[in-house]
Amino acid sequence: MARTVLVLFCFSFTFLLSCSSDDNGDDTITPPGENSTGTFLATIDGQQFEAYEVKAYPQQNFTVIEGEDETNRQGYSRVWVKILIRNLNEPRIYAIGEDGRGFIYNGKATISYINDNDKDTLVYNGIFVEGLSLIDVTTLNSKRIAGTVGFRAYENSTADSDTLDLRNGRFDITF
C-alpha cells in the first residue's frame, strides 16, 4: 500500500512539473532568420550592393538567403535580394533557372526595388544565363552558409523586358 501511494505521489509530482509554464511573459515569435549576422555583397548593374540587413534560414524544402540595402534607383529607396535554394544539403554549385547543361536547377532569385511606403515594388526574377546564373555554396553547416552568386534578372521574367545583372555576389551568413 505504501509503495502504491509513493508511486502515485511521484507520478502526480512529475505530472505537475511537466504542466508548469516556462513562460517568461514574452509571447512574441522570432521571425525566421531574425538573428542572422554576416555579409552579402554584390554589384547590381554596376552599382555596389552591400546589405545592411542579412538573413539566412532553412524552411522545409528551401534554404533562404536575403539581403537588403539602400538604393536611389528610379526613385526607389531600398533594394532586396532573395535567393531560394531547394533541397540544399551539401556545398555545391546550383543553377538559377530551368535551362542549361550539367547543373542542379534548384535556385530561384529575385531582386526587388521598394519604396519607403512599401506600396510600390518593382520585381526582377532570375533566369538561367549560361556561365552567370549560378549559386556556389562553399560552406554549409548548422550555423553558417557562405558562397558566391551571380544571375540575370528580368522584369516580369520575359526576355524583352528590362534586365539587371547581379555579379560578383558573395555571402557569408551565420544563422
pLDDT in tens, 10-24: 444 343 444 444 445
Evaluate whether residue 156 is within a structural domain.
Answer: yes
Q: Does residue 23 lie in a domain region?
A: no
27 domain-assigned: no
Closest CA to 40 of 52, 32, 23: 52
Q: Which domain holds residue 122?
A: 33-174
User: What local confidence, expressed as pLDDT, does residue 5 receive?
Assistant: 41
pLDDT at 49: 96
Residue 128 is assigned to a structural domain of this protein: yes
| Length of the chain in terms of residues written | 175
* pLDDT, position 16: 41
pLDDT for the residue numbered 141: 93
The CA–CA distances, whole Å, from 164 to 13, 63, 96, 124, 152 equal: 64, 23, 14, 8, 6
Per-residue pLDDT of 33-91, as tens digits, reads: 899 999 999 999 999 999 999 999 998 889 999 999 998 777 789 999 999 999 898 99
Look at residue 25 in the predicted model and tell me its pLDDT: 52
Establish if 20 belongs to a structural domain.
no
Of 59, 137, 68, 58, the C-alpha closest to 96 is 137
Of residues 103 and 111, the one with the higher pLDDT is 111
Q: What digits encode the pLDDT tens for the residues 114-144?
A: 987 767 788 999 888 888 999 999 999 989 9
Residue 88 lies in a domain: yes
pLDDT of residue 100: 55
Which distant-in-sequence residues (6+ apart) come within 8 Å of 173 by Cβ?
A: 36, 37, 38, 39, 40, 54, 55, 56, 65, 144, 145, 146
Residue 148 is assigned to a structural domain of this protein: yes
- Total of domains in the chain: 1
pLDDT band at residue 98, thresholds of 50, 70 and 90? low
Inside any domain, residue 61: yes
Q: State residue 118's pLDDT score.
A: 63
Predicted confidence at residue 99, as pLDDT, reads: 55
What pLDDT score was predicted for residue 102?
A: 62
